[in-house]
Amino acid sequence: MAAEEQSCCGCCCRLIFTSGLTTLFLWLSLRVNSPTCSIENFTVFALNKTANSSIISNNNNNNHTIRYDLKLNNKDNKDKGIYYDTLNLTFYYKLNQTSVLLGNATFKDFYQGHGKKTHRIATIDGGKGVKWENDTATTASFRVELNTSVRYKILFWKTKRHRLDLSAVLLVDETGSLIKRKKKGIKFTSKAWNSSGCNVMVLGILGFLSFILFW
């Protein structure tokens, strides 16, 4: 009788252990992470104060073009793609404690495969109502806001839409170029949504499946 009890206890322990490993494996396979978004380059031609001649300097002051490089990286999701809805960018310029709206940019919806990097390189006209010559500081401050909704492709199904609201503060030097950190772009932060909500849902599904399969 004791041997039978030990055998039964051993079977239960192995079943629980196997169930735990299976649940952990499924959890690691199905969990999702939001994409990494960053500004890799940001050039404000009107703020280039290092020109050698006054003619070149005047040309820069009259050039209100701002060129930027937005990078979207799906590096943290193994075997999972991301569907982006329409992506919106809003640019602000901070001068004397006042934020001035520079402009907006919109990119149509697209799909990004797992482990893929996507760049959106474009320009905006930042000359409306901005007197760049009034900025005499060695560095200028800008703010970029990113808004979109994403869905994750897991195996053969898609998650529901999750709102992604991010922002980034950019500093530009006297050459009108982005000041980077260790030669890397500036990442967006202040996420209004992260993957925890979706991961909780996945955990619930895994718990239910484990109950059905093993109990």
Cα of 4 vs its chain's centroid, Å: 57
Total residues belonging to the chain? 215
Q: Of 50, 90, 97, which Cα lies nearest the Cα of 68?
A: 90
- Residue-wise pLDDT tens digits, 34-47: 899 999 999 999 99
Question: Top-level CATH class of 30-214?
Answer: mainly beta
Instruction: Report how far residue 44's alpha carbon sits from residue 201's, in angstroms, rounded to the nearest whole number.
Output: 44
pLDDT at 61 over 90: no
Q: Average model confidence (pLDDT) for the chain?
A: 78
pLDDT of residue 117: 95
Average pLDDT estimate for 189-198: 51
Q: How confident is the model at residue 136 (pLDDT cuts 50, 70, 90)?
A: confident
Percentage above 70 pLDDT, the chain? 67
pLDDT of residue 32: 81
Q: DSSP letter string over the chain?
A: -HHHHHHHHHHHHHHHHHHHHHHHHHHHHH---PPEEEEEEEEEGGG----SSHHHHHHHHH--EEEEEEEEE--S-TTEEEEE--EEEEEEEEETTEEEEEEEEEE--EEE-TT-EEEEEEEEE--TT--GGG--SSSEEEEEEEEEEEEEEETTEEPPPEEEEEEEEEEE-TTS-B--BTTBPEEPB--S--THHHHHHHHHHHHHHHHHHH-
Average pLDDT estimate for 71-94: 93
Q: Of 69, 160, 162, 66, which Cα lies nearest the Cα of 107?
A: 69
Instruction: Report how far residue 79's alpha carbon sits from residue 72's, in angstroms, rounded to the nearest whole number.
Output: 17
Q: What is the number of other CB atoms lying within 10 angstroms of the CB of residue 32?
A: 21
pLDDT of residue 200: 46
Backbone phi and psi for residue 53, each to the nearest 5 degrees, phi listed first: -125, 155
Average pLDDT estimate for 166-194: 86
pLDDT at 65 over 80: yes
Instruction: Name the residue type at position 183.
Output: K
Average pLDDT estimate for 160-165: 93
Instruction: Report how far residue 84's alpha carbon sits from residue 149's, in angstroms, rounded to the nearest whole number.
Output: 6
Measured between alpha carbons, how far apart are the two ends of the chain, in Å?
A: 24
